[in-house]
Amino acid sequence: MRLFDSHAHYYDKAFDPDRDEVLSALPAKGVEGIVCPGCDLESSRQSMALAEKYPFLWFAAGLHPENLEGTSLDDLEEVKKMAAHPECVAIGEIGLDYYWVKTPEDRARSRDFFDAQLSLSEELDLPAIVHDRDAHRDTVDLVRAHPKARGVFHCCALSAEEAKVVLDLGWYVSFTGNVTFQKARRALEVIAAAPLDRIMIETDAPYMAPEPFRGRRCDSGYVYRVAETIAQVKGLSGEEAAEATLQNALRFFGLEG
Ligand SMILES: [Zn+2]
Protein backbone atom coordinates (compact mmCIF):
# COMPACT_ATOMS: atom_id res chain seq x y z
CA MET A 1 0.00 0.00 0.00
CA ARG A 2 1.17 3.52 -0.85
CA LEU A 3 -0.14 5.90 1.80
CA PHE A 4 -0.40 9.65 2.43
CA ASP A 5 -1.07 10.81 6.00
CA SER A 6 -2.65 14.23 5.46
CA HIS A 7 -2.49 15.32 9.13
CA ALA A 8 0.03 14.36 11.84
CA HIS A 9 1.66 16.46 14.57
CA TYR A 10 5.25 15.23 14.71
CA TYR A 11 6.51 18.19 16.75
CA ASP A 12 4.40 16.90 19.66
CA LYS A 13 6.37 16.09 22.81
CA ALA A 14 5.03 12.53 22.63
CA PHE A 15 7.68 12.05 19.91
CA ASP A 16 10.56 13.65 21.81
CA PRO A 17 12.16 10.33 22.80
CA ASP A 18 12.29 8.81 19.31
CA ARG A 19 11.03 11.27 16.65
CA ASP A 20 13.80 10.51 14.14
CA GLU A 21 13.45 6.77 14.60
CA VAL A 22 9.67 6.89 14.04
CA LEU A 23 9.85 9.17 10.99
CA SER A 24 12.77 7.35 9.36
CA ALA A 25 10.90 4.03 9.59
CA LEU A 26 7.77 5.29 7.77
CA PRO A 27 8.80 5.03 4.09
CA ALA A 28 9.43 1.29 4.56
CA LYS A 29 5.82 1.01 5.80
CA GLY A 30 4.51 2.53 2.55
CA VAL A 31 4.02 6.06 3.89
CA GLU A 32 4.97 8.27 0.95
CA GLY A 33 3.76 11.62 2.24
CA ILE A 34 2.85 13.42 5.46
CA VAL A 35 1.56 16.90 6.19
CA CYS A 36 2.40 18.25 9.64
CA PRO A 37 0.18 21.21 10.58
CA GLY A 38 1.20 23.67 13.28
CA CYS A 39 -1.21 24.89 15.97
CA ASP A 40 0.56 28.11 16.95
CA LEU A 41 3.64 30.04 15.80
CA GLU A 42 6.07 27.82 17.71
CA SER A 43 4.69 24.49 16.47
CA SER A 44 4.37 25.87 12.93
CA ARG A 45 8.10 26.71 13.08
CA GLN A 46 8.86 23.22 14.40
CA SER A 47 6.80 21.70 11.59
CA MET A 48 8.77 23.77 9.09
CA ALA A 49 12.03 22.42 10.51
CA LEU A 50 10.74 18.83 10.14
CA ALA A 51 9.72 19.54 6.54
CA GLU A 52 13.24 20.77 5.82
CA LYS A 53 14.66 17.57 7.24
CA TYR A 54 12.40 14.88 5.72
CA PRO A 55 11.76 14.82 1.96
CA PHE A 56 8.39 13.06 2.40
CA LEU A 57 7.06 15.58 4.96
CA TRP A 58 5.44 18.96 4.23
CA PHE A 59 4.00 21.46 6.69
CA ALA A 60 1.16 23.90 7.28
CA ALA A 61 1.25 27.08 9.36
CA GLY A 62 -1.66 28.45 11.35
CA LEU A 63 -3.26 29.31 14.68
CA HIS A 64 -5.57 26.65 16.16
CA PRO A 65 -8.68 27.84 18.04
CA GLU A 66 -7.45 26.27 21.29
CA ASN A 67 -4.13 28.14 21.06
CA LEU A 68 -5.25 31.76 20.81
CA GLU A 69 -4.38 32.89 24.33
CA GLY A 70 -1.75 35.62 24.20
CA THR A 71 -1.98 35.91 20.41
CA SER A 72 -3.15 38.80 18.29
CA LEU A 73 -4.25 39.08 14.69
CA ASP A 74 -0.85 40.71 14.05
CA ASP A 75 0.66 37.24 14.51
CA LEU A 76 -0.85 36.33 11.16
CA GLU A 77 1.96 38.33 9.56
CA GLU A 78 4.30 35.66 10.90
CA VAL A 79 2.01 32.88 9.57
CA LYS A 80 2.09 34.61 6.20
CA LYS A 81 5.90 34.64 6.22
CA MET A 82 6.05 30.93 7.01
CA ALA A 83 3.48 30.23 4.30
CA ALA A 84 5.94 31.59 1.74
CA HIS A 85 8.31 28.70 2.54
CA PRO A 86 8.52 26.24 -0.39
CA GLU A 87 7.58 23.29 1.87
CA CYS A 88 4.43 25.00 3.21
CA VAL A 89 1.38 23.44 1.52
CA ALA A 90 -1.55 24.81 3.55
CA ILE A 91 -2.84 27.21 6.19
CA GLY A 92 -3.62 25.14 9.26
CA GLU A 93 -4.60 23.98 11.59
CA ILE A 94 -7.36 26.60 11.88
CA GLY A 95 -11.06 26.49 12.71
CA LEU A 96 -13.49 26.52 15.61
CA ASP A 97 -13.71 24.43 18.76
CA TYR A 98 -16.74 25.04 20.96
CA TYR A 99 -15.92 22.01 23.11
CA TRP A 100 -12.84 23.71 24.60
CA VAL A 101 -13.63 27.36 23.83
CA LYS A 102 -16.67 28.11 25.99
CA THR A 103 -17.42 31.79 26.61
CA PRO A 104 -19.25 33.88 23.99
CA GLU A 105 -16.33 36.36 23.97
CA ASP A 106 -13.69 33.68 23.37
CA ARG A 107 -15.83 32.02 20.72
CA ALA A 108 -16.32 35.34 18.92
CA ARG A 109 -12.56 35.91 19.08
CA SER A 110 -11.89 32.44 17.63
CA ARG A 111 -14.29 33.23 14.77
CA ASP A 112 -12.27 36.40 14.02
CA PHE A 113 -9.06 34.35 13.78
CA PHE A 114 -10.69 31.69 11.63
CA ASP A 115 -12.20 34.35 9.36
CA ALA A 116 -8.84 36.12 8.98
CA GLN A 117 -6.99 32.87 8.27
CA LEU A 118 -9.53 31.82 5.65
CA SER A 119 -8.92 35.20 4.02
CA LEU A 120 -5.19 34.50 4.18
CA SER A 121 -5.69 31.13 2.49
CA GLU A 122 -7.66 32.85 -0.26
CA GLU A 123 -5.03 35.57 -0.64
CA LEU A 124 -2.14 33.08 -0.83
CA ASP A 125 -4.10 30.48 -2.81
CA LEU A 126 -3.19 27.79 -0.28
CA PRO A 127 -5.74 25.24 0.97
CA ALA A 128 -7.02 25.48 4.56
CA ILE A 129 -6.85 22.60 7.04
CA VAL A 130 -9.93 23.05 9.19
CA HIS A 131 -10.58 21.77 12.71
CA ASP A 132 -14.25 21.81 13.72
CA ARG A 133 -15.37 20.47 17.06
CA ASP A 134 -18.96 21.02 18.19
CA ALA A 135 -19.12 24.11 15.98
CA HIS A 136 -20.41 22.74 12.66
CA ARG A 137 -22.87 25.49 11.86
CA ASP A 138 -20.52 28.45 12.45
CA THR A 139 -17.61 26.65 10.78
CA VAL A 140 -19.61 25.89 7.65
CA ASP A 141 -21.04 29.44 7.62
CA LEU A 142 -17.56 30.98 7.70
CA VAL A 143 -16.37 28.62 4.97
CA ARG A 144 -19.30 29.71 2.82
CA ALA A 145 -18.39 33.34 3.45
CA HIS A 146 -15.06 32.67 1.70
CA PRO A 147 -16.02 31.38 -1.73
CA LYS A 148 -12.47 31.50 -3.04
CA ALA A 149 -11.10 29.45 -0.14
CA ARG A 150 -10.60 25.72 -0.61
CA GLY A 151 -9.83 23.29 2.12
CA VAL A 152 -10.44 20.15 4.08
CA PHE A 153 -12.51 19.30 7.14
CA HIS A 154 -9.93 17.28 9.05
CA CYS A 155 -11.12 14.50 11.40
CA CYS A 156 -14.47 15.17 9.79
CA ALA A 157 -17.37 15.08 12.26
CA LEU A 158 -19.97 16.66 10.00
CA SER A 159 -23.29 14.95 9.32
CA ALA A 160 -23.84 13.67 5.78
CA GLU A 161 -26.08 16.69 5.16
CA GLU A 162 -23.49 19.21 6.41
CA ALA A 163 -20.74 17.41 4.53
CA LYS A 164 -22.73 17.71 1.31
CA VAL A 165 -22.71 21.51 1.69
CA VAL A 166 -18.92 21.70 1.88
CA LEU A 167 -18.37 19.00 -0.75
CA ASP A 168 -20.59 21.00 -3.10
CA LEU A 169 -18.26 23.96 -2.49
CA GLY A 170 -15.35 21.81 -3.72
CA TRP A 171 -13.98 21.07 -0.25
CA TYR A 172 -12.47 17.76 0.91
CA VAL A 173 -13.17 15.61 3.96
CA SER A 174 -10.47 13.71 5.85
CA PHE A 175 -10.80 10.87 8.34
CA THR A 176 -8.70 9.65 11.26
CA GLY A 177 -8.41 6.35 13.10
CA ASN A 178 -11.65 7.12 14.91
CA VAL A 179 -13.54 5.73 11.88
CA THR A 180 -12.40 2.30 13.08
CA PHE A 181 -14.14 2.76 16.46
CA GLN A 182 -17.47 1.19 17.36
CA LYS A 183 -19.36 4.48 17.38
CA ALA A 184 -18.21 5.70 13.97
CA ARG A 185 -21.60 5.40 12.24
CA ARG A 186 -21.88 9.11 11.36
CA ALA A 187 -18.43 9.28 9.75
CA LEU A 188 -19.12 6.08 7.81
CA GLU A 189 -22.26 7.68 6.36
CA VAL A 190 -20.20 10.63 5.17
CA ILE A 191 -17.59 8.30 3.65
CA ALA A 192 -20.36 6.41 1.85
CA ALA A 193 -21.89 9.61 0.46
CA ALA A 194 -18.70 11.52 -0.43
CA PRO A 195 -17.12 11.13 -3.87
CA LEU A 196 -13.97 9.00 -3.61
CA ASP A 197 -11.90 11.78 -5.17
CA ARG A 198 -12.62 14.13 -2.21
CA ILE A 199 -11.58 11.87 0.66
CA MET A 200 -8.21 11.97 2.43
CA ILE A 201 -6.88 9.88 5.30
CA GLU A 202 -4.87 10.96 8.31
CA THR A 203 -3.75 9.87 11.76
CA ASP A 204 -3.83 13.18 13.74
CA ALA A 205 -0.82 11.58 15.45
CA PRO A 206 -0.01 11.31 18.30
CA TYR A 207 -3.77 11.05 18.96
CA MET A 208 -6.55 8.80 17.67
CA ALA A 209 -4.74 5.51 17.14
CA PRO A 210 -7.09 3.24 15.15
CA GLU A 211 -8.36 -0.13 16.31
CA PRO A 212 -6.77 -2.51 17.21
CA PHE A 213 -4.10 -0.06 18.45
CA ARG A 214 -6.50 2.27 20.27
CA GLY A 215 -4.96 4.00 23.29
CA ARG A 216 -1.40 3.72 22.02
CA ARG A 217 0.64 6.62 20.73
CA CYS A 218 -0.34 6.97 17.11
CA ASP A 219 2.00 7.48 14.16
CA SER A 220 1.58 7.39 10.38
CA GLY A 221 2.41 3.67 10.34
CA TYR A 222 -1.22 3.09 11.44
CA VAL A 223 -2.86 5.15 8.68
CA TYR A 224 -3.42 2.00 6.59
CA ARG A 225 -6.25 1.12 9.01
CA VAL A 226 -8.14 4.24 7.90
CA ALA A 227 -7.60 3.26 4.25
CA GLU A 228 -8.98 -0.21 5.04
CA THR A 229 -12.12 1.30 6.58
CA ILE A 230 -12.69 3.54 3.54
CA ALA A 231 -12.16 0.46 1.36
CA GLN A 232 -14.82 -1.49 3.29
CA VAL A 233 -17.39 1.28 3.00
CA LYS A 234 -16.67 1.95 -0.68
CA GLY A 235 -16.36 -1.71 -1.71
CA LEU A 236 -12.71 -1.37 -2.77
CA SER A 237 -9.50 -3.17 -1.96
CA GLY A 238 -7.26 -1.57 0.66
CA GLU A 239 -4.72 -0.80 -2.06
CA GLU A 240 -7.32 0.99 -4.17
CA ALA A 241 -8.49 3.13 -1.25
CA ALA A 242 -4.91 3.93 -0.26
CA GLU A 243 -3.99 4.88 -3.84
CA ALA A 244 -7.09 7.06 -4.31
CA THR A 245 -6.54 8.96 -1.05
CA LEU A 246 -2.83 9.37 -1.88
CA GLN A 247 -3.68 10.89 -5.28
CA ASN A 248 -6.28 13.14 -3.62
CA ALA A 249 -3.71 14.44 -1.12
CA LEU A 250 -1.12 15.09 -3.86
CA ARG A 251 -3.72 17.06 -5.84
CA PHE A 252 -5.13 18.88 -2.79
CA PHE A 253 -1.71 20.02 -1.54
CA GLY A 254 -0.39 20.81 -5.01
CA LEU A 255 2.28 18.10 -4.94
CA GLU A 256 1.49 16.37 -8.22
CA GLY A 257 4.24 15.61 -10.72
ZN1 LIG B 1 -4.61 18.10 14.41
Residue 184 has pLDDT above 90, yes or no: no
CA 185 / ligand 1 centre spacing (Å): 21
The pLDDT of residue 95 is 98
Q: 40-44 — which CB contacts under 8 Å span 24+ positions? A: 40/64, 40/67, 40/71, 41/71, 41/75, 41/78, 41/79, 43/9, 43/11, 44/79, 44/82
pLDDT digits (tens, 9 = 90+) for 21-56: 999 999 999 999 999 999 999 999 999 999 999 999
Q: Return the percent helix, strand and coil in the chain, to nearest 5.
A: 50, 15, 35
- This model's pTM is above 0.85: yes
Cα–Cα nearest to 244, from 228, 179, 43: 228
Task: Please report how the helices 224-234 and 185-193 are oriented relative to each other, as an axis angle in degrees rounded to 10.
Answer: 60
CA 65 / ligand 1 centre spacing (Å): 11
Residue 43 to residue 124: CA distance in whole angstroms: 20
CA 54 / ligand 1 centre spacing (Å): 19
Residue 191 has pLDDT above 80, yes or no: yes
Whether the CB-CB separation of 73 and 112 falls below 8 Å is answered with yes
Residue 182 has pLDDT above 90, yes or no: no
Whether the CB-CB separation of 133 and 157 falls below 8 Å is answered with yes
User: Within 13 Å and on the Cβ side, how many CA atoms surround 10?
Assistant: 31
CA 94 / ligand 1 centre spacing (Å): 9
CA 28 / ligand 1 centre spacing (Å): 24
pLDDT digits (tens, 9 = 90+) for 196-208: 999 999 999 999 9
CA 141 / ligand 1 centre spacing (Å): 21
Residue 257 has pLDDT above 80, yes or no: no
Q: Domains (ranges, CATH) in the chain?
A: 3-252 (3.20.20.140)
CA 155 / ligand 1 centre spacing (Å): 8
